[in-house]
């Protein structure tokens, strides 16, 4: 088992420096343009694919790093470059994690390569969970998947929303209800292959921030997918549903407690695996804003001296840097725990996402304040960073939901 350490090894430092160079030379110069265009930055994704930043091999190497630190390191550097473009580059990863968390080895080997394509034919993927009436409340999900036993096909109907790459993806991973009476435990994930009839893009959202990332509704109308597109397979699903029904009836509650086995929800399994990574994204944005504010404070002169000579400014920068470092440590701890199989006994994954996301909002707001009127204009990047940071306390579990998860974990009580 890898020991926890604050020191990156030589390979990790090499990758970090390489990514930092890509973020500085390729992502940052394009950030303002694609934020204004509010379009997927295909040329930047293509460049990322050419150099190996956007590829299955690269992310597999980082994902299977035994220390768990490579993925948060990657996220921090890319989002230091720009959050919108970075999300366009890594957004496919959420769908890939959905397959890794719930799929069989054969499904992983079949579908994840198709999510990325290759340097000559770049593809993206989408993870579709949220719905117009089911965001944080996943139990309210209405998208249905019905098994056609005669054809061994699943028929999907419903509308998904807030889907990164929704409608433009080569592969969609869709979470749907297979047993309405089982609540959130009656959900399953499905692969919708490329060009499947019945899947279409609905509304494309015009967003406050991360505007270079495509976010849209996905409409499913009698979408038929083969039986092998059920992640994990029918046998595994039937076993899960049987346990859920027994627990609901009260007959199997004692057995479930004795076995210590929790019935896993398909969407939650994906979010649990990705929360520290989202925290790392927030750290990257916060760090970028802090660095701009620090440089500005050292060069901007008022009353005959740099504004950093004033305690009111200097102390703000101290607090910003302290919060960033604390957030990174929480993210690294959670990532290391996940990679080494240590349980989140105190909801450490949610802790990392909660603190890092709120740090990004706080730090970027202070950066705007330090730059004053300049910080309020699009001539300086902190305005965009401040807009981008708002998403971190919302997607993949709001701050309120993170607090609920942490409170329930610490207390053992069904806090509402």
Give the active site residues.
Answer: 396
The alpha carbons of the chain give a radius of gyration, in whole angstroms, of: 22
CA distance 396 to 75: 15
Structure tokens at 153: 């096909």
The three-state secondary structure class of 295 is: helix
- Which residues pair with residue 158 across a beta bridge? 220
Question: Residue 347: left (phi > 0), alpha (psi -120 to 50), or beta?
Answer: left
Instruction: Give dist(CA 292, CA 373) in Å, integer.
Output: 15
Closest CA to 97 of 141, 144, 129: 129
- Measured CA angle at 16 (ends 13, 20), to 5 deg: 140
Q: What share of the chain is helix, strand, coil (3-state, %, to 5)?
A: 60, 15, 25
- Rounded to an integer, what distance in angstroms lies between the CA atom of residue 314 and that of residue 292? 14
């Amino acid at each position: 088992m890898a020991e926890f350490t604050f020191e990156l090894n030589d390979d990790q430092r090499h990758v970090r420096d390489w990514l930092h160079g890509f973020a500085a030379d390729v992502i940052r110069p394009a950030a303002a343009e694609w934020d204004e265009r509010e379009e997927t930055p295909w040329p930047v994704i293509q460049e990322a694919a050419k150099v190996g930043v956007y590829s299955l091999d690269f992310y597999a190497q980082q994902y299977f790093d035994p220390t768990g630190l490579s993925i948060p390191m990657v996220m921090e550097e890319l989002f230091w470059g720009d959050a919108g473009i970075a999300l366009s580059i890594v957004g496919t990863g959420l769908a890939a994690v959905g397959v890794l968390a719930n799929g069989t080895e054969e499904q992983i080997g079949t579908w994840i390569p198709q999510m990325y394509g290759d340097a000559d034919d770049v593809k993206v993927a989408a993870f579709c969970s949220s719905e117009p009436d089911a965001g944080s409340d996943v139990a309210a999900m209405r998208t249905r998947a019905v098994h056609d036993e005669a054809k061994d096909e699943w028929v999907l109907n419903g509308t998904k929303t807030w889907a990164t790459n929704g409608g433009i993806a080569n592969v969609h991973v869709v979470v749907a209800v297979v047993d309405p009476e089982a609540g959130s435990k009656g959900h399953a994930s499905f692969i919708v292959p490329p060009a499947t009839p019945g899947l279409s893009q609905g509304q494309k959202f015009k967003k406050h921030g991360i505007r270079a990332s495509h976010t849209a509704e996905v409409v499913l109308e009698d979408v038929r997918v083969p039986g092998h597109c059920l992640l994990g397979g029918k046998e595994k699903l039937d076993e899960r549903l049987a346990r859920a029904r027994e627990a609901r009836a009260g007959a199997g509650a004692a057995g479930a407690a004795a076995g210590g086995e929790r019935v896993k929800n398909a969407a939650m399994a994906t979010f649990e695996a990705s929360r520290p990574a989202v925290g790392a994204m927030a750290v990257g944005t916060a760090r970028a804003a802090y660095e701009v504010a620090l440089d500005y404070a050292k060069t901007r002169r008022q009353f005959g001296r740099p504004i950093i000579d004033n305690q009111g400014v200097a102390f703000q920068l101290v607090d910003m840097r302290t919060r960033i470092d604390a957030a990174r440590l929480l993210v690294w701890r959670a990532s290391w725990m996940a990679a080494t199989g240590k349980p989140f006994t105190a909801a450490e994954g949610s802790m990392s996402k909660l603190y890092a996301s709120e740090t990004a909002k706080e730090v970027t707001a202070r950066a705007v304040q330090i730059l004053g009127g300049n910080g309020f204009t699009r001539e300086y990047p902190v305005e965009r960073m401040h807009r981008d940071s708002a998403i971190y306390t919302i997607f993949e579990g709001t701050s309120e939901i993170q607090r609920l998860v942490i409170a329930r974990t610490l207390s053992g009580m069904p806090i509402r």
